[in-house]
Amino acid sequence: MSYKGYYLSFKIKTPIIVGYNDSMGFERTRYYIPPINMMGAFAASLSRNSSASTGHMRRLDEFFKFSTFFLSDDGVNAFYPRLTPEGTLLYGKKGLSLLDFSGRFVSSKAGMQYGLPRNLSESEFLMPKDGVKGNDNYLVGYVFVKNGAEMEGFRSWLLALKQLWVGEEINYGLGRIVLEELREVGSAKGEDFLFSIDGIRFLLERDEVIISYEVPSSLLSHAFIDNAEGKIVNIYGVKEPIRGRVDHLGGHVHFGQEEAYWVPGTLIYPHGNSAEFRIGHNGIWYLV
């Protein structure tokens, strides 16, 4: 087996913003944490907790692959975005509506108690506490670690995961998450469905981490699909420009195929038995 998989659950300690500016100029946050943000937070922590050389750090993406991390109310079940065939945007297996989701996990007032500048204090944040129930909120996702990582200068990777500062704004104490649970997963452990979703498996036996779609379902990461070559029957969602700021589902956005990724939540219909993606640089998925 080339990789080992670990399911991670982080408790959110302070508000998080992983944002972009919408067309009205209001500072919003993504409702998930992309792999590139998790990798950046991990790299910063690893630098603080180890003596890994710059040369080793440049190889970080070769040995560690992060999934997208999603909000959770119990540290187990993920509220990932998913479009229905009718175009309704829901979250998680429970089918939380956008209104219910944002009421529990998102706030434009969460940063006010941190003495932020005005432009930040009025931004959207992912909240440490459930806005309805008052319980702790979590982030859940995966890290896939290539065999031999410890021997390649990454002996402190477990220690580095204990506490991260994630997001585009980590000043004023923002973006702090603390590891609550780490457990090994994979076919040998009897758990190989990504986020426990039937029909979406992660495969660790090859030289790359493979995500296999056996049934129509939602993308769980940004994916570059330039030519489906018969592997995808249909796809329904929204693209985000590589260097752009668009991140909403259900709208009519037009970008060239070589300039954009499909966003998490996009509904795909695999052709035949399955469609396979590999996790590439910065956690972007590419059709195999």
Query: Domain ranges in the chain?
Result: 3-188, 194-287
From the centroid of its chain, how far is CA 91?
Answer: 14
- Contact predicate 131/107, CB 8 Å: yes
- Contact predicate 185/5, CB 8 Å: yes
CA distance 33 to 18: 7
- Contact predicate 33/18, CB 8 Å: yes
Identify the band that residue 112 occupies on the pLDDT scale cut at 50, 70 and 90. confident
CA distance 221 to 281: 12
CA distance 93 to 170: 31
State which amino acid sits at residue 98: L
Question: What is the phi-psi region of residue 171: left when phi exceeds 0, alpha when psi lies from -120 to 50, beta otherwise?
Answer: beta
pLDDT (mean) for 170-185: 92
Query: If you average pLDDT over each of 8-22, 45-59, 97-111, 208-222, which comes out highest?
Result: 208-222
Identify the band that residue 200 occupies on the pLDDT scale cut at 50, 70 and 90. very high
CA distance 139 to 129: 12
Do the strands 32-33 and 125-126 form a parallel or antiparallel pair, or are they unpaired? unpaired
Identify the band that residue 52 occupies on the pLDDT scale cut at 50, 70 and 90. low
Residue count (the chain): 288
Alpha helices in 71-229 (DSSP H): 98-105, 118-121, 157-160
Place of tokens 């290539």: 146
The predicted pLDDT at position 177 comes to: 98
pLDDT (mean) for 30-53: 86
Residue 248 above 70 pLDDT? no
pLDDT (mean) for 92-99: 95
CA distance 164 to 44: 8
- Indicate the Cα dihedral angle 60, 61, 67, 73, nearest 10°: 20
State which amino acid sits at residue 165: W
Do the strands 27-29 and 19-21 form a parallel or antiparallel pair, or are they unpaired? antiparallel
Pick the CATH number of 3-188 from 1.10.260, 1.10.1060, 3.40.50, 3.30.70: 3.30.70
Do the strands 96-97 and 69-72 form a parallel or antiparallel pair, or are they unpaired? unpaired
The predicted pLDDT at position 197 comes to: 96
Residue 244 above 70 pLDDT? no
The rounded radius of gyration (Å) of the Cα atoms in the chain is 18
Percent of the chain with pLDDT over 70: 84
